[in-house]
Structure 1
C-alpha cells in the first residue's frame, strides 16, 4: 500500500499527464474537432432562432418542424451569400493592392518630406530595402490560400450544423428509449432543458450584440467611403466574440485600409475614433444590459481560456474560446456536484 503523500503525488502526476494528453489530442485533432464544436455552437443559435420565430406575429401558429426548416434555409442562404461576398471582396482587394501600396508609399514620402529627412541617404536606403522585401503578389497568394482553407472548414461546419439541427427532433425519442419512463429520464430531461435554455440564450444574445455592432460599424464605414465595408463589418462582428483583444483587432483592419485607400492620416484617425465609439457603446452599455448573468466569467479565466485555445487552434480557437468556456460553466452550474467549480470560475459567484 502506498502512503497518503505518495498517493497524492501519483494523483497529481496522473492529472498532469492526462491534461497533456488531452491538449495533444486537441491539437492533433483540430481538423476534426474544430468544425464539430463550431457546428454545435451554431446548432444552439439555430435552435434558439427557431424558437424565437414562434413569437413573431403571424408565425406563432406554425409547427415546430416548419420553423426549423425556415431557419435552416435562411442559415444556408446567408452562408452562401456571405461566402460569395467574401470571395468577391478578396478578389477586388487583390486587384487594388498595387494602388494601396502606391498610396502608402506616397504618404510615407510626404511625411518624410514634412519631417525634413526625405533627402537623407539613410532614408532612401531604408525605403529601397523595404520595397525589395514587400512582395504584393506573394501576400495575395498567401491570403487566397488561407481563405480557401477557411472555406473548406466553413463547408464542414454548415453540413454538420444542418444535420445536427435536423436530427435534434429525434432526441426526445432517443432519450425515452435510453432511460425509459423513469426518474432518471426526467432528471436528464430537466438538466438538458435548463442547460440548453441558458446556453441558447447566451449564444443568441451574444450573436445579436455582434450583429448590432457590425451594423453600426457598417453605417459608419459606408459614410466614410471605405472599401469592402460589408466585409469589415462582418469581421468586426465575428471578432467581437473575442473579449478585450477582438475589438482592438476588429478596428485595426479597417483603419489600416482607410490609411492605404486614401493615403491620409486624417481619414484613418476619423475611422479609428468612430469605430472605437461604436465598440464602447456596445461593449460598455448595450452588451452588459443584454447579457445578464449568462456571461459571468472571471477576467483571469477569460484570458486563460483565450491563451489556451488560441495556442491550440489559432484564431478560430480564440473566437470559440469564450463561448466554449461559458457553455462549460453553465453545464457545471447545472450539476450539483460540480457547481462549486462553476462558482470559482465565475466573476462574482452568481451562477
Structure 2
C-alpha cells in the first residue's frame, strides 16, 4: 500500500512570535552601542552639528556680493570655519584661564555663605542650625566648582578633536549630489531623494544656526547684566549661560541660579544679587519665550514630554555632552522624519503643536 506523503510541517515562525522580544533586544543593543561607543559617537555627533552650523554660515556668506559677484564657495567655507574656530577659541580660553581663579576664590565665598546660612538657619532653631552647619562643612564647594569648571574646560578642549571630521564632511558635501545620481538610476526617484535631502538639510541648518544665535545673545545679555554690577568671573558665567541654553528648561534655571548665588556671596548688599537674578532671568525669559519662538516658529517645537524624555535619555547615555545635544539631536531626528512621508506621523507626535512645516513640502 502506497503511503501518502504528509506535507512538511512549516517551521516555527519565531519572528512573529518573538517580535517584541526582538524589538527589546534591538533597543537594548542600540542603547548599549551608544554607551560603549560614546568616545567615538560623541565627537562625531558634535562634528555633525558643527558641520550643519558651518554649512549654514557658509551658505549665507556665499550669497553676499563682492565686487558685483557672489563670494566663491571655497572662500565662504574658509570664512565660516574661521568664525566658528575663533568663537570656539574664545570659549575655551575663557574657561581654561579662569578655572583656577574660580577655585581660589571659593574659600572666600564659603565664609560669606556660611555667615548668610547662619542668619537664615538660626531662625529655625539652634539644633537645626548646628545640623545644617555640619552638613555644610561636609560640602567641598571649592573642589566642586573647580571640578565643574575644569571639566567644562577639558570638555571644550577635547572638542577640538571634532575638527578632524569637519573638513572631510565639507568635502563630502560637494560630491553628495553626484553620488545620489549614481546610486539611484531612476531620475524621478533620484530627484525626490535630492529634494528630501535638501529640505532636511535646510531645516536642520536653520534650527542649529538660530539656536546658536539665540544662545550667543543669551550669553552676551547675561554678561552685560553681570558686568554692570562687577560680578566676579562674569565671562565664565556668560560662557556657561551660552552652553546651558542648549539644555532645555534646566539649563536656563542653572544659568540664572549660578551667577545669582555668586552675587549673593560676593557682595554685602542685596541689590547686586537682585539685579543679577532679575536681569539674567529677564534675558533668559525674553530670549527663550519671545525671540527664539519668533525666529524658529512653532513648527520645530518639541512637545514638553519629548523635551524631558530626550534630556533624560541623552544625559543618561552621554552625560553632560548628551544633555547639551539632547534637543538639537531630537529636533534633527524630527526634521528628518517629517521629510519622509511614511514617518511623518511620528514627527507630528513628537512636535509640540502637531504642525510640521515640512509635511506639506514633502507631500507636494
Q: TM-score, normalised to structure 1's length?
A: 0.88
In 1, are the aligned partners of 2:104 and 2:142 still within 8 Å (CA)? no
Which residue of 55, 77, 98 corresponds with 1:68? 77
Q: Could you tell me which residue of structure 1 aligns to residue 26 of structure 2?
A: 18
1:224 offset after TM fit, Å? 1.5
For residues 133 and 55 of structure 2, the distance between their equivalents in structure 1, rounded to whole angstroms, comes to 55
The answer to which structure, 1 or 2, has the higher relative contact order (CA under 8 A, 6+ apart) is 1
Q: Could you tell me which residue of structure 2 aligns to residue 228 of structure 1?
A: 233
In 2, are the aligned partners of 1:298 and 1:347 still within 8 Å (CA)? yes
User: Does residue 61 of structure 2 align to residue 53 of structure 1?
Assistant: yes
In 1, are the aligned partners of 2:100 and 2:146 still within 8 Å (CA)? no
Partner deviation per Cα, 1:143-191 (whole Å, 9 max, x = no partner): 4652464145312223323442344233334334434683343222211
User: Does residue 217 of structure 2 align to residue 212 of structure 1?
Assistant: yes
For residues 282 and 192 of structure 1, the distance between their equivalents in structure 2, rounded to whole angstroms, comes to 30
1:48 offset after TM fit, Å? 0.5
User: Does residue 89 of structure 2 align to residue 84 of structure 1?
Assistant: no
In 2, are the aligned partners of 1:202 and 1:294 still within 8 Å (CA)? no
Structure 2 unaligned blocks of 5 or more: 1-9, 357-364
Partner deviation per Cα, 1:269-314 (whole Å, 9 max, x = no partner): 3311111111111122111111114423222122211111111112
User: Does residue 41 of structure 2 align to residue 36 of structure 1?
Assistant: no
The verdict on how the C-alpha distance between 1:282 and 1:129 changes in structure 2, with shifts beyond 3 A counting, is: closer
Structure 1 unaligned blocks of 5 or more: none
Q: Could you tell me which residue of structure 2 aligns to residue 272 of structure 1?
A: 277
The verdict on how the C-alpha distance between 1:101 and 1:56 changes in structure 2, with shifts beyond 3 A counting, is: farther
Partner deviation per Cα, 1:79-102 (whole Å, 9 max, x = no partner): 222211111111221222222222
User: Does residue 310 of structure 2 align to residue 305 of structure 1?
Assistant: yes
For residues 290 and 146 of structure 2, the distance between their equivalents in structure 1, rounded to whole angstroms, comes to 41
Partner deviation per Cα, 1:297-336 (whole Å, 9 max, x = no partner): 2221222111111111122112211111111111111111
Q: From the CA coordinates, give the structure whose radius of gyration is larger.
A: 2
Deviates more, 1:60-69 or 1:43-52: 60-69
The verdict on how the C-alpha distance between 1:307 and 1:110 changes in structure 2, with shifts beyond 3 A counting, is: closer
User: Does residue 342 of structure 2 align to residue 334 of structure 1?
Assistant: no
Q: What's the secondary structure of 1:105's corresponding residue?
A: helix
In 2, are the aligned partners of 1:306 and 1:317 still within 8 Å (CA)? yes
1:9 offset after TM fit, Å? 4.7
Partner deviation per Cα, 1:87-133 (whole Å, 9 max, x = no partner): 111122122222222222333345567x496xx587467536643x3
What is the 5 A alignment of 1:129-140?
130-131=136-137, 133-135=138-140, 138-139=143-144
For residues 298 and 65 of structure 2, the distance between their equivalents in structure 1, rounded to whole angstroms, comes to 28
1:202 offset after TM fit, Å? 1.2
Q: Could you tell me which residue of structure 2 aligns to residue 150 of structure 1?
A: 155
Deviates more, 1:137-146 or 1:279-288: 137-146
Aligned residues: 346
Q: Could you tell me which residue of structure 1 aligns to residue 205 of structure 2?
A: 200
In 1, are the aligned partners of 2:225 and 2:279 still within 8 Å (CA)? yes
Q: TM-score, normalised to structure 2's length?
A: 0.85
The verdict on how the C-alpha distance between 1:301 and 1:141 changes in structure 2, with shifts beyond 3 A counting, is: closer
In 2, are the aligned partners of 1:199 and 1:330 still within 8 Å (CA)? yes
State the Cα RMSD in Å.
Answer: 2.8
In 1, are the aligned partners of 2:65 and 2:71 still within 8 Å (CA)? no
Deviates more, 1:23-32 or 1:258-267: 258-267
Deviates more, 1:18-27 or 1:258-267: 258-267
Deviates more, 1:158-167 or 1:226-235: 158-167
For residues 212 and 165 of structure 2, the distance between their equivalents in structure 1, rounded to whole angstroms, comes to 19
